[in-house]
Amino acid sequence: MKFSKRVLLTGASGFIGRHAIHELQARDYEIHAVGRHPFAKPPVNFFQHAVDLADDDVVRQIFHAVSPSHLMHLAWDVTPGDFWSSPTNLDWVATSLRLYRAFVEYGGRRAIFAGTCAEYDWTNELLDEEATPLRPATLYGTAKCALYKLIAKSAQREGISIAWARLFMVYGPHERRARLVSDVACALLRGEPALCGDGIAARDFMHVADAARALATILDSDHRGAVNVASGICTPIRDVIATIADLTGRRDLVRLGARPTPRGEPPLLAASTGFLHHAVGFDPQFNLAEGLADAVRWWRSQLTGSGSAH
């Protein structure tokens, strides 16, 4: 079968990337994944290129051989707790710019990059692509914001169609441990206390399968510029914890207030989703209760040995 759309996907073995593969296949893409960690059992119509993305010469060789029409760049260092201030953010800006330049040089037409809600000024109650200032408070947010501005300006000059997906609180199967949903679910499923903050802050949570489907939908659309990838519903963190506790039957092990509130944590991170819903035409399939149930089922399977982590 000959494919008219050929996508180069970075971060394919990562949290969102492994879910994006299915969505890209459903849209008849020929998928070429670049990264350090190959799949043991690669999916159909999926080609792996096990390379270090920081190796500019090898990456350019891949672009020369593949000549992708599309690019989905998800790879970044998001080690829980460290990524907010890690100097590797600077390295990923440089790597991402090299990827973009090679994509343009070898005839690429349409690309989507993973941004973050951390690019916004968090003192605003509603984070909107057009109305909210970009004023990141962390190195991670600053790096993503700078990359977006550089690529958007270059793409305008070169006539390349670029979308920038600002991801909010994504959770679900294959999430790294030490993040909120995975950390609480694993603790309670093991019969251990779940040490939490006060949980008063509210966040916009989206299941990873919905986030991946949103990214693929945006890539297939003609939307240019930034778009929030979020559910549009803000929920107090303590309500998320309570739902996980009910799903595991272990409310007795939840310890709200056992951890201090991080300094500078905003009380509310609410996403405007008008672009995603109306301009792109995307609606999530999971509500929060269904999504958390799916995440707990997956973690239960991992901890009991009845599922595969790969």
Q: What is the mean pLDDT of residues 207-232?
A: 98
Instruction: Say yes or no to pLDDT of 41 above 80.
Output: no
CB count in 10 Å sphere of residue 56: 15
β-pair type (70-73, 46-50): unpaired
Question: Residues 197-212: what's their mean pLDDT?
Answer: 97
Q: Would you say residue 276 lies in a domain?
A: yes
**Residue 300 domain-assigned (yes or no):** no
Residue 261: predicted pLDDT: 87
Angle ∠(255,301,233) on CA atoms, nearest 5: 55
CA distance 124 to 270: 9
* Helices and strands: H and E segment counts in the chain: 9, 14
Look at residue 3 in the predicted model and tell me its pLDDT. Answer: 63
Cα radius of gyration (the chain): 19
Give the span between the Cα atoms of 188 and 171, in whole angstroms: 17
Query: What is the band of 2 on the pLDDT scale with cuts at 50, 70, 90?
Result: low
Q: What is the pLDDT of residue 83?
A: 95
Q: Is pLDDT at 33 greater than 90 in this prediction? A: yes
Tell me how far apart the terminal alpha carbons of the chain are, to the nearest angstrom: 27
Residues 280-310: tens digit of each pLDDT: 999 999 999 999 999 999 999 999 886 654 3
Structural domain contains residue 41? yes
CB 255 within 8 A of CB 228: no
Instruction: Give the pLDDT of residue 309.
Output: 44
Paired sense of beta strands 29-35 and 46-50, if any:
parallel
For residue 59, give the H/E element and its range: helix 56-66
Predicted local confidence at residue 306, as pLDDT: 67
Q: pLDDT over 90 for what percent of the chain?
A: 87
pLDDT tens per residue, range 44-72: 789 999 888 999 999 999 999 999 999 99
Task: Indicate the number of domains in the chain.
Answer: 1
How would DSSP label each residue in 24-50? HHHTTEEEEEEES---SSPPTTEEEEE
CB 140 within 8 A of CB 76: no
Assign residue 222 the CATH number of its domain. 3.40.50.720
List, for residues 243-275, the tens digit of each pLDDT value: 999 999 999 999 999 999 888 889 999 999 999
Domain contains 180: no
Q: Write out the H or E segment, with its range, that includes residue 113.
A: strand 110-116
What distance in Å separates the CA atoms of residue 136 and residue 150, rounded to the nearest whole number? 16
What is the domain range of residue 89? 5-170+205-230+269-285
Is the residue at 290 inside a domain? Answer: no
In this prediction, residues 135-158 reach a mean pLDDT of 97
Q: Largest alpha-carbon pair distance within the chain?
A: 58
Any idea which of 55-59, 167-171, 179-183, 286-290 has the lowest mean pLDDT? Answer: 55-59
Give the residue, 81 or 229, on which the prediction is more confident: 229
